[in-house]
Structure 1
Amino acid sequence: MPDYTHILQEFIWQTADIRPEYPRVHRFLNYWHDNIEAVISEVNIADNYVTSYK
């Protein structure tokens, strides 16, 4: 268990993923759940879907 459970640390991660399933995000969250004692309290996903480039 983390030393300071009352401290909330922010973690920002940017990655290219496939919407709407977000398999990379799910792999990361599953890994975290299985291997790291710290608890993730909240997950926010921001998506900037681009249909074409100019």
Structure 2
Amino acid sequence: MASRDFARQLEGYGLSTVAIHYYLPDHPSLIQQFVMQQYDIAPRFPELDRFLDYWRREIEAALHSVSVVHKHLIGPAEWRAVDGIITIN
């Protein structure tokens, strides 16, 4: 049986690294960073949207900025043309 992560990759999910910059109400001049990785679908990012909705509802830290890097882990095979043939005896 395939792992859940592998099954999600076959469904089109890729690995997203998200950096969230925020500040707490007690220290508004100090920006902090929270970094996480999760499987998500670009360019809509429904998992990230759910997490940010949760953040706005439940966490008292104000968001400053959110940066996302995304990579599809399963895709077409890479190939390149070969200029010559090397024979090894």
When normalised by structure 1's length, the TM-score is 0.81
Letter in 1 for 2:64: S
Name 2:5's counterpart in structure 1: none
Larger-gyration structure (1/2): 2
**Please, which runs of 5 or more residues in structure 1 have no aligned partner?**
none
Distance 2:54 2:35 in 1: 16
State how many pairs are aligned.
Answer: 54
Scaled by the length of structure 2, the TM-score of the pair is 0.53
What does residue 43 of structure 1 align with?
66
Q: Percent identity?
A: 34
Shift of 1:39: 0.8
Give the superposed CA RMSD: 1.9
Runs of 4 or more consecutive aligned structure 1 residues displaced over 3 Å after TM superposition: none
Q: Cα offset for 1:52?
A: 4.1
Q: Which has the higher strand share?
A: 2
